[in-house]
Structure 1
Amino acid sequence: MGESNMRTQYCWDKALLFLVMAVLLAPAVASCSQEELDDAARKDKVFAMYDEYSEDFPGVRDISPEDALALDESERVFVDVRPEEERAVSIIPGAISANEFLADPASYSSQTVIAYCTISYRSGEFAEELDGQGVEVVNLRGGLLGWTHAGGPLVDDQGRATTTLHVFGSRWDLAPLSHETVW
């Protein structure tokens, strides 16, 4: 093999090694950058993501976590649209499942019905679907992530206070640093 071919092969080997390292390290670098965010930056990212997602359901009204917290418990009902696996980790106290709500939506007509999920994309779709059927549902802005950043409480499947929440995936691992996340 000539010197020119050896040099070319060496360059290709280096390029391939660099590419493999970049692919292997990319997830670690991405997760580190998110882990390094302080609570204010995490909260800002949650609401920026929600604002982007909410463009997919523009007719759905939302409610801020702070406004939802300010409502008396008798004036509101939270509907958690997440699957059982996620709800088993934690829910907003008193929340009901989507199936429980859909069994008799009329029984909640005197309350503000607030749907949520991790960041309120799935609940936005839920609210949009029900709006098309004449059932008024508002979407919790920022979902459970926004709720926890506003100081909202969570309970586990036994009704005990918890700071653990299911965040659907690593992209949404934006809970306050005081909380433990799973996905």
Structure 2
Amino acid sequence: MQEEEHVSGLKTDLCKSGGTFCVLVGVTGSVAALKLPLLVSQLLQIPGVDVRVVTTEHAKHFYNSAEVSVKLYSDKDEWELWTQRTDPVLHIELRRWADLLVIAPLDANTLGKIANGICDNLLTCVVRAWDTSRPLLFCPAMNTAMWKHPITAQQVKGPWQRYRLLSALSISIFRNQMRHLRKHAHNIVLSIQLAPKQIET
């Protein structure tokens, strides 16, 4: 009975209404994750935008979940939801629901995982299953020395070319590619700028 309620709750939460632009925010274990509540609240102020969050376990260290006003999904939800073959798979349901995936902040560890095809948590599974015709916006946030390391440059440029990938470093591309949703694109860009690219320590 509890399993049925869990599945029913998921279907209700990820039900898309007509005209709604669905933004899935991924948050990883960078200190910049402390801005998650602010980022979510700014996105929700955009008319016609709906938001859900996928968090890594390490990201939870930096923000108070009680301050996040939308549904948060984590690894625990992925494994609790699926008990038999007919059950929905959470990372696939999230992929279907979202029109845009924003990873803000994207820490060095998760960047490395994604660049190498590793999908060992809910967020990286969503990315691995992502519809590459839909935009994926990422906002790197790490120590400056880590950001300037040659490995980071390789991981940002190389494998990501398969996606309509949009770094916070080339935000004008995002506006152009989202021309058909210009009002959403402009306001999402403004909101995303809350997430810093680098963190000095």
Check whether TM > 0.5.
no
In terms of Rg, which structure is larger? 1
Q: Scaled by the length of structure 2, what TM-score is found?
A: 0.27
